[in-house]
Amino acid sequence: MAEIRDALDLDRDDLPDYTTIYKSFDRLEMWVWRALLRVSAQQHPQSGHAALDSTFFDRRSASSYYRQRSGSTVQTLKVTTLTDRESLAVLDVHISARWKHDTKTGPQVVRRNADDLLSVAADKAFHNWITKYEFYALGVEPLILQRGSRLLTLGHNALIRAKGYSQRWMAETSYSTTKRSLGDAVRALGWYRQFREIVLMFALSNIEPLCEPL
């Protein structure tokens, strides 16, 4: 892709053959793909204010014969992302085939990026006192809504909204942009390749705006 090469200042002769990308899903560890995602996000201004949310990718594009042979019954992958609320760049992702609860995956993503964060906005699915305590311990302000209708809860939620919770929708915008451009299904067969494919999709989504003509 000439536009992406230009944005990253890469020469075509220095790049490996395009078929190498498939083999790299096996050869390169997951932390390498996370590093690629992080570098792609750093091409945008970093505000320190992020949104935490989850989406799903379809893994049924593989043939039914392969899925039956491999014993795969999971049809969708749950993806939890950390998105910069100003640039819409996806900073980090957590991918699971077992659909772990948001209160388990959310802190894991924030923990890896805490040094670069000032606040994190998330909906009620991410709320529990353990999560909030950990965020405060990491020096990250949790803008997380609470469940319930008590006056104290309503007052808390109003305060959270005033502090910037309303920008949480930025994460959903990044999902929409990525899926419109690259689709909402993974095409690799092995689950670990599918995880790395999703990380690569978000990395490309981070880079694409840089390739648009001025």
pLDDT at 55: 92
Q: What is the DSSP-derived secondary structure letter of residue 185? A: B
Here the tokens at position 192 are 């670990």
- 15-56 pLDDT per residue, tens: 777 667 667 777 888 889 999 999 999 999 999 999 999 999
Of the candidates 3, 15, 36, the one whose C-alpha atom is nearest the C-alpha of residue 200 is 36
Q: Where are the beta strands (DSSP E) in the chain?
A: 49-58, 76-84, 90-96, 119-122, 141-144
pLDDT at 5: 73
pLDDT at 128: 86
Residues of the chain with pLDDT under 70: 1, 3-4, 18-19, 21-22, 61-74, 211-214
> How far is 4 from 22, CA to CA, in rounded Å?
19
Which residues face 57 on adjacent strands? Answer: 77
| pTM of the entire predicted model | 0.81
Within 10 angstroms of residue 158's Cβ, the number of other Cβ atoms is: 11
Here the tokens at position 87 are 């640039």
pLDDT at 192: 82
> How far is 200 from 33, CA to CA, in rounded Å?
7
- Estimate to the nearest angstrom the gap between the alpha carbon of 68 and the chain centroid: 29
- 186-196 pLDDT per residue, tens: 887 777 888 99
Q: Rg (Cα) of the chain, in Å, rounded?
A: 19
> Please, what are the domains in the chain?
2-211 (3.30.420.10)
pLDDT at 110: 94
